[in-house]
Amino acid sequence: MISGKTRFVPLLAHPARHVRTPSPFNAECLRQGLDMVMAPLDVRPDMLERTVASLREVENLAGMVITIPHKGAVAALCDRLVGAASLVGACNIVRREADGSLTGGMFDGEGFVAGLRHRGYEPAGQRALLVGAGGAASGVAHALLQAGVVELTIANRSAGKAHHLASQLAMAFPQARIAAGAADPAGYDLVVNGTALGMHAGDALPVDAGRLDAGCIVAEVVMQPDMTPLLVAAEARGCRVHKGIHMIEQQVRLLVDFLK
């Protein structure tokens, strides 16, 4: 039931057609008995600043959930960043405080690791290749290191972003081997696509699937389609696959708790 007291949580995206978060988020609110509801808002990047400025004036706004391509830009519009958001300079959730100020958080990574563990895969002690250095990938990199991966290679189309992220993380996690490098999956225990590749028909694969080790686990952040071309190719090669949807399934509780 939506009442006059319902707190609103827009999901800011562009485009918005691919989003899958509202259903599990709203189900979690129902489960917890919270009068809070999420709906997607398709916001063009050139309208983002004005949209966020207007939303912060809305009294019944609990906060906003942020996805592609807005995570970095919204972080810059927050009054403060907490946890992983302050380390990676991107946020996937914003809480509106009573005074209208905005606090940004980042739970993509925690959700990703919780999803792996929920399905019986422990990343501690593993060697990981992460393709991507955007909002979701940055959160995943941080959480994998926090979970104890011993080696992390970050490969990204814009190599400068991979180098920047790797050097930031190397300062925070001096015990791990962290480097920017090539998207060659051979020799890794865990290969993660942290890019948007796979969302659209005709996208290139983020890695050469012929170079995947048969025993490795191949994980996605992309949720739509459910089985991306990378996961299909990895499964055909005998790898264990882990879908993008598992990351949000375990994350919604963290997002709802942040706004309570």
Ligand X SMILES: NC(=O)c1ccc[n+]([C@@H]2O[C@H](COP(=O)([O-])OP(=O)(O)OC[C@H]3O[C@@H](n4cnc5c(N)ncnc54)[C@H](OP(=O)(O)O)[C@@H]3O)[C@@H](O)[C@H]2O)c1
**Residues taking part in catalysis:** 71
User: Which of 137, 166, 191, 259 touches ligand X (CB under 6 A)?
Assistant: 137
Q: Which residue has its beta carbon closest to ligand X?
A: 134
User: Which of 14, 161, 163, 237 touches ligand X (CB under 6 A)?
Assistant: 161
Q: Which of 217, 260, 208 is nearest to 241 (CA)?
A: 217
Cα 3 to the chain's mean position, in Å?
31
Residues for the chain: how many in total?
Answer: 260
Ramachandran angles phi, psi of 154, nearest 5°: -115, 120
Residue span binding ligand X (CB under 6 A) among the ranges 3-11, 47-55, 65-73, 210-218: 65-73
DSSP annotation of 222 reads -
**Which amino acid type is present at position 49?**
E
Q: Which residues, numbered 173-212, are part of the site for ligand X (CB under 6 A)?
A: 195-197, 199
**x/- track of binding to ligand X for residues 85-124 (CB under 6 A):** -----------------------x--x-------------
Strands 102-105 and 93-96: antiparallel
Q: Give CA separation, 63 vs 6, 167, 180, in Å.
A: 12, 31, 34
- Min CB(152)–ligand X separation in Å: 15
Q: Map residue 75 onto helix, strand or coil.
A: helix
Q: Give yes or no for residue 237 binding ligand X (CB under 6 A).
A: no
Ramachandran angles phi, psi of 103, nearest 5°: -115, 120
Residue span binding ligand X (CB under 6 A) among the ranges 39-47, 81-89, 168-176, 240-248: 240-248
Distance between CA 94 and CA 104 in Å, rounded? 4
Residue span binding ligand X (CB under 6 A) among the ranges 37-45, 57-65, 172-180, 243-251: 243-251
Residues in the site for ligand X, rule: CB under 6 A?
A: 67-69, 71, 108, 111, 132-137, 156-158, 161, 195-197, 199, 221-223, 244, 247-248, 251
